[in-house]
Amino acid sequence: MVEKQYDDLISQKTTIITQKVKVASEAKKHDVYNGIYNVGPGVSSMGKGDIYAGQAAHITGYAKTSRAEFFCDLRLEAKRLAG
């Protein structure tokens, strides 16, 4: 059995960004995860971003891994969606 290879978490910080989620045609290209993608077990997709299209999002976290950059701690209308 091949062991899963995870990305290295390079940095993580608090940020404050409020903006609308992109239109559905653009947001559907992006997954929403319950944590920082591919840095360890237990993180899974919650669906595509198009289900949140046009809604105001409050983002309080940012993370950079060895392969990508992510906004995390996403909240819509005071409900936490993603870790």
Length of the chain: 83
Rounded CA-CA distance 64/49 in Å is 20
User: What is the domain class of 9-82 according to CATH?
Assistant: mainly beta
- 74 pLDDT band, cuts 50/70/90, is confident
For the chain, domain boundaries: 9-82
Question: In the chain, at which residue ranges do the beta strands (DSSP E only) sit?
Answer: 9-20, 31-33, 45-48, 56-65, 69-76, 79-82
The continuous run of DSSP H or E covering 23 comes out as: none
Rounded CA-CA distance 29/13 in Å is 25
The pLDDT tens digits for 9-55 are: 999 999 999 988 889 999 899 888 888 999 999 999 988 989 888 88
pTM: 0.74
